[in-house]
């Protein structure tokens, strides 16, 4: 199993701070599609993704036990 963490407005959309999903062997892009469909989370394509606290690309493959975080873009001033 893999732990998926949601931050900021993504947490509100998902209705959860974190969920457990079987994502081993899938790419980050495939996981984004699964999460969008299952939890109704939009705009994951513009969100940063981290696997085990390291930023990753959409083509990175998830391993068993990895923790994946979806972090929306932030703006500042």
How far is residue 38's CA from residue 75's CA, in Å, rounded to a whole number? 28
Q: What CATH code is assigned to 2-71? A: 3.10.20.30
Burial of 16 (0-12, 13-18, 19+ CB in 10 A): middle
From first to last of its 77 residues, the chain has per-residue pLDDT tens of 999 999 999 999 999 999 999 999 999 999 999 999 999 998 898 999 999 999 999 999 999 999 999 999 876 65
Rounded to two decimals, the pTM is 0.92
């Amino acid at each position: 199993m893999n732990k998926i963490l949601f931050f900021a407005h993504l947490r509100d959309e998902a209705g959860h701070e974190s969920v457990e999903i079987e994502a081993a062997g899938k790419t980050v892009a495939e996981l984004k599609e699964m999460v969008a469909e299952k939890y109704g989370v939009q705009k994951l394509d513009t969100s940063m993704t981290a696997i085990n606290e390291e930023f990753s690309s959409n083509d990175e493959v998830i391993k068993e036990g990895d923790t994946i975080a979806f972090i929306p873009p932030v703006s500042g001033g």
